[in-house]
Amino acid sequence: MTLSIPRLIGHRGAARHAPENTLSGMRTGALQGALWVEVDVKITRDGVPILMHDDKVDRTTNGHGLVADMDFTQVRALDAGSWFGPDFRGERVPTLAEAIEAARFLDINLNLEIKPCPGREEQTAGIALSMALNLWPADRPPPLVSSFSTEALAMARTVAPHWPRGYLMEEEPADWAAIADRLDAATINIDARRQSAGSIAAFRATGRPVLAYTVNDAQQARQLFQWGVAGVFTDTPEGLFKGLTGKG
Ligand code: G3P
Ligand code: MG
């Protein structure tokens, strides 16, 4: 399967312009021209896949506590928009099912980053991807499934073997290439701040496209593209587009 990777991928939707990991965020990313948006997926205590980055709800909602200790109805009662700005008051934490439907409606693709609460790596990937497989429209290209958790990626391979996997890394382990092979990773997803021409060349030498997070500065993006990075995750798709092209 050939993977068509856009240059600019909305990070957590379009995190500079709308509350991250919400339907408004996805919509903002799409309106800003992002052909893909990246979202973070975890499960509630009762096993409902939702979009959220942190283990706790505190930073991105008006609630407190660990997602792993909360049932979906509790998470759903929270306001996930007011922390960002009054325009987003009443925004809810979306389910993965709602995010898939929204992506179809917006005509964009998704990068589903599996972001498990500690100890729930396999369970999160298993539940979220079984559901996503059932809901994914047959006429659309599959999402990219990524994770920092190799356990989650191994489970992704079992549950959705034909969906491409992105091996996300913060600090690369010495045996990263062997791990990427073992997971049959389609892409290498790396921290933009840690890279050089040499590191990108090494990743690309494995035959995999390289995606870099999180890039909001045009000069940095230009450098990464020059080194051969295929696409960057950005909080501001429109801002980066303007910076790169001088248009808008
Ligand atoms: O998937 C790219 C990027 O989102 C990884 O870092 O912490 O923003 O999920 P983080
Ligand atoms: Mg992420």
Instruction: Give the C-alpha separation, 51 to 30, whole Å.
Output: 17
Distance of CA 74 from the midpoint of ligand 2 (Å): 23
Q: What is residue 2's predicted lDDT score, i.e. its pLDDT? A: 72
Instruction: Give the C-alpha separation, 20 to 51, whole Å.
Output: 9
Total residue length of the chain: 248
Ligand nearest to the CA of 193: 1
Nearest atom within ligand 1 for CA of residue 115:
9
Comparing CA positions, the residue from 24, 40, 44 lying closest to residue 32 is: 24
How far does Cα 89 stand from its chain's mean position?
24
Per-residue pLDDT of the chain (248 residues; tens, 9 = 90+): 578 999 999 999 999 999 999 999 999 999 999 999 999 999 999 999 999 999 999 999 999 999 999 999 999 999 999 999 999 999 999 999 999 999 999 999 999 999 999 999 999 999 999 999 999 999 999 999 999 999 999 999 999 999 999 999 999 999 999 999 999 999 999 999 999 999 999 999 999 999 999 999 999 999 999 999 999 999 999 999 999 999 76
Distance of CA 235 from the midpoint of ligand 2 (Å): 11
Is the CB of residue 9 less than 8 Å from the CB of residue 34?
Answer: yes
Residue type, 242: K
Domain segments of the chain: what residues? 8-245
Ligand nearest to the CA of 231: 1
Residues with CB under 6 A from ligand 1: 11, 38, 40, 53, 113, 146, 168, 189, 213, 233
Q: What is residue 191's predicted lDDT score, i.e. its pLDDT? A: 98
Which residue's CA is the nearest one to ligand 1's atom 7? 53
| ipTM, 2 dp | 0.99
DSSP letters, 174-210, are TTHHHHHHHTT-SEEEEEGGG--HHHHHHHHTTT--E
Q: What is residue 130's predicted lDDT score, i.e. its pLDDT? A: 98
Which residue's CA is the nearest one to ligand 1's atom 1? 113
Q: What is residue 247's predicted lDDT score, i.e. its pLDDT? A: 76
Choose, from 17, 53, 64, 162, the residue flagged as catalytic: 53
pTM for the model stands at 0.98
Distance of CA 11 from the midpoint of ligand 2 (Å): 7
Q: Which tens digit of pLDDT belongs to each residue from 11-54?
A: 999 999 999 999 999 999 999 999 999 999 999 999 999 999 99
Query: Does the annotation count 17 as an active-site position?
Result: no
Is the CB of residue 227 less than 8 Å from the CB of residue 197?
Answer: yes
DSSP letters, the chain, are ------SEEEETTTTTTS-TTSHHHHHHHHHTT-SEEEEEEEE-TT--EEE-SSSBSTTTSS--SBGGGS-HHHHHTS-SSTTT-GGGTTPPPPBHHHHHHHHHHHT-EEEEEE-PPTT-HHHHHHHHHHHHHHHS-TTSPPPEEEES-HHHHHHHHHH-TTS-EEEE-SS--TTHHHHHHHTT-SEEEEEGGG--HHHHHHHHTTT--EEEE----HHHHHHHHHHT--EEEES-HHHHHHHHH---
Query: Does the annotation count 53 as an active-site position?
Result: yes
Which residue's CA is the nearest one to ligand 1's atom 3? 213
Is the CB of residue 92 less than 8 Å from the CB of residue 80?
Answer: yes
Tokens of 179: 């791990």
Q: Within a 10 A sphere around the Cβ of 139, how many other Cβ atoms?
A: 6
Task: Report CA-CA distances (Å) from 1 to 26, 37, 75, 180, 214.
Answer: 26, 20, 37, 17, 26
For domain 8-245, give the CATH superfamily: Phosphatidylinositol (PI) phosphodiesterase (3.20.20.190)
